[in-house]
Amino acid sequence: MNAPMSLRRTLLLGILLPLFGFVIINTVVLYRQALAAADTAYDRTLLATAKSLSEQLAVVGEGPEAKVRSSLLYSALEAFEADNRSRIFYRVSGFAGEMVSGFDDLPPPRARLPDQKIYAALVHFYDDDYRGVPVRMAVLLQPVASSKAQGMTTIQVAETLELRQTLARQILIDTLWRQAALVVVIVLVVVIVVQRATRPVRSISQALARRSENDLSPLPTDSAPREVLPLLEATNQHMQRLSQLLDHQKRFVRDTSHQLRTPLAVLKTQVQSARRGDVPPLQALEEIGHTVDRATELANQMLALAKVEQLRQERDAPVVDWGEVVRSVALDLAPLIADRGLDFSLDVQKALVRSHEWALRELCRNLLHNAIKHCPPDSRLSMAMACDSRTAALSISDSGPGISEHLRERLFQPFATDHGARPSSAGSGLGLAICHGIVQSLGGSIDMQNRETHGRITGLDVTVRLPLASPDTEVIHDP
């Protein structure tokens, strides 16, 4: 697999290759324009030569016998030759095309004159060969008249191309030198600018390469260019999530090893005691079973707490009916409610929220189980759900002792007892921490307030609010 091209090389090729193409095209265009300007200048000289020849023409005779005569000597054309590198040839043809003066072997002019452009005279310029040498030919149609006769003469003037070719080569060299100097300057500027523009990216890459594998601190964004800021911010957010996940894993391992050590030690002591016969076998088995149940419950809650942290990292959860989940959980815990003889009431409605069903089930189970556990026998326990345009609120009202003030601030922390009035029955202290984590991951809130009557606490009201999903969203069951 080929390695991807670097950003610096991409910028240099993307800028310089089109630039080189433009410079080449521009060089060709400039060269052709310079040649056209040179041809125009030298063609004016040819036209001036032809006109000076016409001034030496005269008409002799009259009627059909009229002829054109020329008094021009070839030596008079030496003034129009720029230097020894070029030569001029001419030919003057009479009214009937007969030879009047000049070089009789000069090729005859082309049959038709093209449309005139910058010259008002009837003159035509074209390239031709004469005696095996390329020449530039000018053909001038010149009227000649006398008092007795008049007609149209043809004057041809040819010039060899040595001087024009020398000028063309000089123009080409000068153009290439200028374009080469321009290209060198542009290349230097582009390389310097690209080097400076990509320096922050290289600095970030080098800084990341020098980091240790456990360093998840945010990258500096003070000196970063505006185009790189979104990448840096996304990278910092990702590293922040990784750091939180790593801290959670470390905390989970630490808490698990600490919390499971106690029930395992108790279990080992109970087994040793049963082997020695310190207690009756049935009592020993009952104690061991109780310890195993506590350890199992603790392990399940620790795993649930870890799964809640995973839930924080997930996006696009399915939409489920929270009311249906509440009914299902209440049905599952109905034997516990009946065992304590509670006066239980349930009033829920359809509430579509975006969450995994297991998270809502874990949330409702923990809250309802805590309420059942702390309600006195034969007391009241109620669950009700209300919805507005944006949120759904689940309220659980028990008749328990409420929350003590010294535990309120750390109530949602792991391993804090959930009801301060009865710490002996508070459990592992993970239930409310799990509930708090689930609610936060779903973008909701949880509130716990003591209910007072005549200055005396008569129960606890728990209210959980979650944002509603779109009403037209399909309900997906995700156990």
Which structure tokens are listed for 336?
Answer: 């516990």
**Reported confidence tier of residue 424, pLDDT bands at 50, 70, 90:** very low
Q: What is the average per-residue pLDDT within 310-328?
A: 80
How far is the C-alpha of 340 from the C-alpha of 342, rounded, in Å?
A: 6
Relative to beta strand 343-347, strand 380-387 is parallel
Q: Is 239's pLDDT higher than 60?
A: yes
Burial call 394-410: b when 16+ CB within 10 Å, e when fewer = bbbbbbbbbbbeebeee
Q: Which of 159-173, 194-208, 242-256, 412-426 has the lowest mean pLDDT?
A: 412-426
- Contacts (Cβ under 8 Å, ≥6 apart) of 184: none
Q: Residue 399: which of 356, 438, 357, 450 has the closest Cα?
A: 450
- How many other C-beta atoms can be found within 10 angstroms of the C-beta atom of residue 160? 19
Q: Residue 309: which of 247, 361, 217, 239 has the closest Cα?
A: 247
Q: Is 121's pLDDT higher than 60?
A: no
How far is the C-alpha of 395 from the C-alpha of 368, rounded, in Å?
A: 10
The confidence score (pLDDT) of residue 344 equals 93
Q: What is the average per-residue pLDDT within 439-468?
A: 89
Q: What is the average per-residue pLDDT within 120-145?
A: 84
**Reported confidence tier of residue 479, pLDDT bands at 50, 70, 90:** very low
Say how many CA atoms lie within 13 Å of 348 toward its Cβ: 22
Which structure tokens are listed for 478?
Answer: 């995700």
**Reported confidence tier of residue 151, pLDDT bands at 50, 70, 90:** confident
Q: Is 418's pLDDT higher than 70?
A: no
For the chain, which domains are there?
7-170 (no CATH), 230-313 (1.10.287), 319-467 (3.30.565.10)
Task: Report phi then psi at 175, rounded to 5.
Answer: -65, -45
How far is the C-alpha of 67 from the C-alpha of 57, rounded, in Å?
A: 10
For 9-48, what is the HEC assignment?
HHHHHHHHHHHHHHHHHHHHHHHHHHHHHHHHHHHHHHHH
The confidence score (pLDDT) of residue 73 equals 58
Q: Which of 42-51, 66-75, 428-437 has the lowest mean pLDDT?
A: 66-75
- What average pLDDT is seen over the chain? 79
Q: What is the average per-residue pLDDT within 446-475?
A: 83
Tell me which range, 169-183, 286-300, 312-326, 337-351, is most confidently predicted by mean pLDDT.
337-351
**Reported confidence tier of residue 422, pLDDT bands at 50, 70, 90:** very low
For residue 320, the surrounding DSSP H or E stretch is: strand 319-321
Q: Which of 6-20, 59-73, 210-224, 376-390 has the lowest mean pLDDT?
A: 59-73
How far is the C-alpha of 25 from the C-alpha of 35, rounded, in Å?
A: 15
Q: Is 50's pLDDT higher than 80?
A: yes
Q: What is the average per-residue pLDDT within 7-33?
A: 83
Q: Which residues pair with 136 in a beta bridge?
A: 127, 159
The confidence score (pLDDT) of residue 85 equals 64
The confidence score (pLDDT) of residue 118 equals 47
Question: Which has more pLDDT, 382 or 310?
Answer: 382
Q: Which residues pair with 134 in a beta bridge?
A: 129
The confidence score (pLDDT) of residue 162 equals 82
Q: Is 408's pLDDT higher than 80?
A: no
Answer whether 99's CB lies under 8 Å from 91's CB.
yes
**Reported confidence tier of residue 48, pLDDT bands at 50, 70, 90:** confident
How far is the C-alpha of 225 from the C-alpha of 451, rounded, in Å?
A: 56
**Reported confidence tier of residue 345, pLDDT bands at 50, 70, 90:** very high
- Identify the DSSP state of 468: B
How far is the C-alpha of 203 from the C-alpha of 213, rounded, in Å?
A: 18
Q: Residue 301: which of 439, 442, 440, 429 has the closest Cα?
A: 429
The confidence score (pLDDT) of residue 252 equals 66
Residues 428-439: pLDDT tens digits?
566 777 788 888
Residue 381 burial (10 A CB sphere; 0-12, 13-18, 19+):
buried
**Reported confidence tier of residue 323, pLDDT bands at 50, 70, 90:** very high
**Reported confidence tier of residue 256, pLDDT bands at 50, 70, 90:** low
Which structure tokens are listed for 409?
Answer: 């601030």
The confidence score (pLDDT) of residue 313 equals 61
The confidence score (pLDDT) of residue 421 equals 40
Roughly how many angstroms between the first and final C-alpha of the chain, as a whole number? 43
**Reported confidence tier of residue 255, pLDDT bands at 50, 70, 90:** low
**Reported confidence tier of residue 347, pLDDT bands at 50, 70, 90:** very high
Q: What is the average per-residue pLDDT within 405-413?
A: 71
The confidence score (pLDDT) of residue 8 equals 75
Q: Is 99's pLDDT higher than 60?
A: yes
Q: Is 381's pLDDT higher than 90?
A: yes
Chain centroid to CA 290: 59
**What is this structure's pTM?**
0.49
Question: Which has more pLDDT, 1 or 387?
Answer: 387
The confidence score (pLDDT) of residue 2 equals 59
Across 342-390, the runs of DSSP E, i.e. the strands, are: 343-347, 352-354, 380-387
The confidence score (pLDDT) of residue 386 equals 92
The confidence score (pLDDT) of residue 434 equals 78
Question: Which has more pLDDT, 446 or 204?
Answer: 446
**Reported confidence tier of residue 175, pLDDT bands at 50, 70, 90:** confident
